[in-house]
Amino acid sequence: MPSTSLELLSEHACFGGVQRFYQHASGVIGLPMRFSVYLPPQAKIDAAGGQVPALMYLAGLTCNEETFMMKAGAQRMAAELGLALIAPDTSPRGAGVPGEADSWDFGVGAGFYLDATQAPWAQRYRMATYLTTELLGLVAQTLPIDLARVGIFGHSMGGHGALSLALKHPDVFKSVSAFAPICAPCLCPWGQKAFTGYLGTDVTAWAAHDSSALMAAKASAPYPRGILIDQGLADKFLPTQLFPESFEAACQAVGQPLTLRRHPGYDHGYYFVATFMGDHLAHHAACLRD
């Protein structure tokens, strides 16, 4: 069971709601973990009831629990739509694994939102279980968030995490979208490096964490109300790391509605993310309304 002990690190009034940053002792990770939450004005923070739907946002490589809340410009529209926003960290911190801080694309800040199976990573690097069980359970117990109406989205590595976790847990996440996601990590250098380190050299085990492979294995569309992906065509990582065409083909094969928008001139950064953030919040609000 998740601990219900939350340490409030800071709190800020924001668009009629409140932006909070928390730390807690994680039983799954075995270390302190940080996350941020935006609660819109519709959330009844100090009274019973008033639960609101929530979106979990997964950030990309080198980011942390502050990145999305500070850069994406999501709070204004989240306040209008009555959506809570949850942003976890991108990996454990302070695990003491030799070499965990040697690379910007593996280890600290690069947990890839999976449960590692290989030593020495398997003990602490358990982000998938942490997110889908402990963190969601914790916020539902302590904050006015409706656990029956939760969506997930993310950027880059976090886009990979959002798509793969949604496809593995459609009972948990009722909506999904992504910005410039790593759509086929089995095929790209970032994914191959992470999967080898966290999961081992048996490539057959990697497919369980590859969004394109997961979608291709579905018998029918897991998200009949659609998936939204935005991709910048000036993104320097598009040709070698992202492979949205692989996910697009997998969706077509199983009849999964997908809106994949390709935008000339936009790169991989948060100016791109902020530009289309409103469309993603509206997509999730529509899916979570029922």
- Spot the catalytic one: 36, 156, 211, 246: 156
Asked if 12 is an active-site residue, the reply is no
- Strand ranges in 1-144 using DSSP code E only, listed in sequence order: 7-14, 17-25, 32-39, 52-58, 84-88
Residue burial 241-270, b: 16+ Cβ < 10 Å; e: rest: bbbbebbbebbeeeebebebeebeebbbeb
> How many CB atoms sit inside 10 A of residue 157's CB?
30
Give the CA distances from residue 53 to residues 14, 86, 209, 212, in Å, rounded to whole numbers and listed in that order. Answer: 18, 11, 26, 27
- Spot the catalytic one: 24, 160, 268, 283: 268
- Spot the catalytic one: 211, 235, 280, 283: 235
d(CA 134, CA 169) in angstroms, rounded, equals: 14
Rg (alpha carbons) of the chain, rounded to whole number: 18
The residues that bridge with 229 in the sheet, in sequence order, are 178, 260
- DSSP-derived pairing of the beta strands 84-88 and 52-58: parallel
- Residues with Cβ within 8 Å of 61's Cβ and at least 6 positions away in sequence, in order, are 90, 104, 105, 109, 110, 156, 157, 190
Residue with tokens 């009844």: 44
Asked if 280 is an active-site residue, the reply is no
Asked if 283 is an active-site residue, the reply is no
Q: Which helix (H) or strand (E) holds 101?
A: none
Residues tagged active-site: 156, 235, 268
